[in-house]
Amino acid sequence: MPGFWKHTGEIAARLAARPLLVTLDFDGTLAALAETPDKARLTPEYRTALKALVKLPGVKVFILSGRALPNLKKVVGIPGIYYGGNHGMELEGPVFRRLDAHVMRARARIAATVQEIAERFPPGTGVMVENKVFSASVHYRCVKSPFRTSFRRHMAALTCSAPAGLRWSRGHKVFELRPEKAPDKGDAVLMLARRLKTASVFAAGDDLTDEDMFRALAGLGVTLRVGCRHRTKADYCVRTQKEMLKVLRFLAKI
């Protein structure tokens, strides 16, 4: 996979058209991965870099995350940004708000399933079950050694029999339960790009769910994977999350 820094001239030329939509994942891209989602932080340096991008004429910033929309807005908290929560099911920006109608109908099923899952992983196992209203996450980064075998057994059973209308997917140390027909990150970035009538798009992410936007933007934008060891549909990569600060400053400069 081509390294980002060896192709900056080409990238700058591909992103020359305005308006430009800069789409960024949060955990693992703008913020370092943490043991649990509540411990992830946007550092002052990244906050400053994002604010600089937002102020530029002809540039729109879109933060697109698996987090629930209220949580994402809370951890970022920068006016003028477009936010996408639950992998694109919830969208909100300076001039609009959109919630996919299909996922609204899945709330009761999600809530019931979260309760069932939580009973399998009580406090003390190190497993965190998160109800994000329109989806659910089972975080196992901190699962304790005595419970690892039972965790794998329980998740194998759960993923083999998802409730009607729901589906399981995987991410970094997390299982995600979402409505079957829910929009993904690829759908979300294309929809917003059309709505804003953008002429060029940049998108960066580090997880399996970000591959959806990499595929959607193939031939249409510039895509960047954080981490160069993975098979990916992204155009370029940087090795570590720490390099993303330099990427944001590069985007502001061009």
Catalytic site positions = 25
Distance of alpha carbon 54 from alpha carbon 73, whole angstroms: 15
Cβ atoms of 223 and 23 closer than 8 Å: no
What crossing angle do the helices spanning 44-55 and 244-253 adopt, rounded to 10°?
Answer: 20
Amino acid letter, 253: K
Distance of alpha carbon 144 from alpha carbon 166, whole angstroms: 28
- Tokens at residue 9, please? 């001239």
User: How long a stretch of residues is the chain?
Assistant: 254
Nearest Cα to Cα of residue 100 among 176, 162, 25, 191: 191
Helix/strand/coil for 128: strand
- What residues contact residue 110 under an 8 Å CB cut-off, 6+ apart? 131, 132, 133, 134, 135, 136, 166, 177, 179
The answer to whether the Cα torsion of 68, 132, 144, 227 is positive or negative is negative
Distance of alpha carbon 189 from alpha carbon 212, whole angstroms: 10
